[in-house]
Amino acid sequence: NAGVMQNPRHLVRRRGQEARLRCSPMKGHSHVYWYRQLPEEGLKFMVYLQKENIIDESGMPKERFSAEFPKEGPSILRIQQVVRGDSAAYFCASSPTSGGYSDTQYFGPGTRLTVL
């Protein structure tokens, strides 16, 4: 059973470009979370999605950031007009269909975004 897949693993963008990060959850999981980790810091919650629904986006910056989890295909975290401060590791996690508070989240290997 494949784990959570993220691609690309490394992404380099110039200021003003767009970054698209993809996450495929574990088989049988329909809940996806996105987190951002700055160097030497913990993970900061960004958004929680179920298929075709954004459940909690309280951690998402108000501008330039968006996320989706379509009925078919991976979840996408999109960052428009990137700035140097967006440079970070972005982690995706998935959890089983039950979606309860006690569900364990399983993490992908992360995408390391560098903005030049």
Partner 1 sequence: AQSVAQPEDQVNVAEGNPLTVKCTYSVSGNPYLFWYVQYPNRGLQFLLKYITGDNLVKGSYGFEAEFNKSQTSFHLKKPSALVSDSALYFCAVRDGGTGGFKTIFGAGTRLFVKA
Residues near partner 1, by CB under 8 A: 4, 6, 33, 35, 41-45, 48, 55-56, 58-59, 91, 93, 99, 101-102, 104-110
Between 10 and 15, CB nearer to partner 1? 10
For residue 92, the minimal CB distance to partner 1 (Å) is 9
Tally the C-alpha atoms within 13 A of residue 106's C-alpha that lie toward its C-beta. Answer: 20
Between 9 and 15, CB nearer to partner 1? 9
